[in-house]
Structure 1
Amino acid sequence: MANSGYDQRSQVLNGVSSLLCETRSAMNGIMSHHVLTPGMLVRHPQYPEWGIGQVQSRIGEMVTVNFVETGKQVINGSKVSLVIVYEE
């Protein structure tokens, strides 16, 4: 019972740490895949030759993007941080 307060504080600190990491990434133009919604424009950081892609769907970790040069690609968002394109 004495540890339950410690466990709650630990969970809160882990949540704050996660939020700070996502905020830091967002400030660099790279966002967590959890913010991606259909219609958003993105680039793949490792394959710039794919061009701009439009997010078609996100189910769990998997993001489906239709890229100009390569067509539909299914990307594991927990492994690849897609770069959001704000204006082109």
Structure 2
Amino acid sequence: MLDAGGESALTIRALTDRLSTGSGAIYYQVGTRDDLLDTATESVTGAALAARAAGAAASASRTAPASANRCAKGRELCSTSAPTVRCRS
């Protein structure tokens, strides 16, 4: 609803229509419209931060430390494809 119509589209009435429920159920679960907007903001912000953290973690896991690019002999790796790892001569 926020994506489609922005903040002004997120009302208790619109939410009750969308969820096919009564406004009493929304007021019981969420409270006021301001509470609804606060909850939506926390949800959107939390999801964005979680996605950012997941992206950073994935990026960090793709960037191996320099020591991981060396074989047991301390030579630079030329192939890390499974199932074997060969080092340069």
Q: TM-score normalised by the shorter chain: which range applies?
A: 0.3 to 0.5
- TM-score w.r.t. the length of structure 2 is 0.34
Q: Which has the higher strand share?
A: 1
Flag the structure with larger Rg. 2
Relative contact order higher in (CA < 8 Å, ≥ 6 apart): 1
- TM-score w.r.t. the length of structure 1 is 0.34
